[in-house]
Copies of this chain bind each other. A is one copy, B any other.
């Protein structure tokens, strides 16, 4: 069995790793850290998991130094992985970081949006863990920067059209809507039930930290520096991101053409499902599963493409994608442990 550690195991992405890894046939969680719950049994803190992790006790992060594992998932807050990952890599561990710490290639860009980077040299070693674009690099990676939830939904929505050169990179608008778990297991009153329930709002308009990450990947695909307009919104649901992406068409295509192009682009992808012409996805159809479902449309009058993509922000947008990356890096079947069906109701 491959031995796995989860650093930061009591936040939502950590909990989701615990949920998804329990039935994984090749892996065993041997260490789970949580400052808040240190020394308390996992199944006591989370009675939902009672019977599954009965031997496992949350440990203080410090104890990780004495532990030997094959894979380490870092599900820590932004900034906290800088100093954790370096020592890890010297031991041959595969490190999969779910924070934003290693996603940006350009240290200056990182600094502008997040502040100083304390392990900037590692940025070059990190592979951006979006298997649909970087599978070959992930196979050989030791440090995988697991993509952000919004970027995953936006990049998968636009990559085929951008790569095939049918849209103008300068015209991209990404209007995204995310469930509340994307904000983490927070104690902020802003995310209390009574404030969020029955509400809906845009937030961080023009200044969300996922903007440079989306721009980096759009630029890489377009082959030139690309800026986008990105507006995130907060949905009163626990899980799910829906992105509605708009871009100006460089050539006339029909919706059927576009649909065919997307279907071909993702033909061999186990976790991307392109819907039939005229169909658009609901976040419910990927709930708790690792899929990204996509519907496309051409607004012929406006010469504009509209793409709608959905993911579960905790699965394909975080922990599921992290496990997908782990499977690839370990040479396992990529879908292992990730084929539970969506919870549509």
A177 at the interface (CB under 8 A from B): yes
Taking A281-B47, A284-B198 as contacts, is the C-beta distance between A23 and B295 under 8 angstroms?
Answer: no
Asked if A238 and B197 make an inter-chain contact with CB atoms under 8 angstroms apart, the answer reads: yes
CB-defined interface of A323-339 with B at 8 Å, one 1/0 digit per residue?
00000000000000001
CB-contacts of A5-28 with B (<8 A): 12, 15-16, 18-19, 22-23
Please count how many residues in chain A sit with their CB below 8 Å of the partner chain's CB atoms.
Answer: 88
Asked if A177 and B233 make an inter-chain contact with CB atoms under 8 angstroms apart, the answer reads: yes
Tell me which of B189, B200, B228, B285 contacts A302 (CB under 8 A).
Answer: B228
A314 at the interface (CB under 8 A from B): yes
Tell me which of B170, B192, B199, B205 contacts A191 (CB under 8 A).
Answer: B192
Complex formed: what's the CA distance from A11 to B118 in Å?
41
Taking A194-B12, A229-B304 as contacts, is the C-beta distance between A279 and B186 under 8 angstroms?
Answer: no
Asked if A185 and B194 make an inter-chain contact with CB atoms under 8 angstroms apart, the answer reads: yes
Asked if A345 and B314 make an inter-chain contact with CB atoms under 8 angstroms apart, the answer reads: yes
Asked if B343 and A19 make an inter-chain contact with CB atoms under 8 angstroms apart, the answer reads: yes
Taking A175-B175, A177-B177 as contacts, is the C-beta distance between A201 and B52 under 8 angstroms?
Answer: no
Asked if A195 and B281 make an inter-chain contact with CB atoms under 8 angstroms apart, the answer reads: no
Tell me which of B185, B199, B240, B273 contacts A200 (CB under 8 A).
Answer: B240
Q: How far is the CB of A285 from chain B (nearest CB, A)?
A: 4
CB-defined interface of A206-227 with B at 8 Å, one 1/0 digit per residue?
1000000000000000000001
A51 at the interface (CB under 8 A from B): yes
CB-defined interface of A171-204 with B at 8 Å, one 1/0 digit per residue?
0010101011100011111011111111111110
5 A-B pairs, CB-CB below 8 angstroms? A187-B189, A191-B193, A198-B283, A231-B306, A235-B236
Which 4 A-B residue pairs are closest in the complex by CB-CB distance? A201-B282, A48-B344, A48-B285, A199-B284
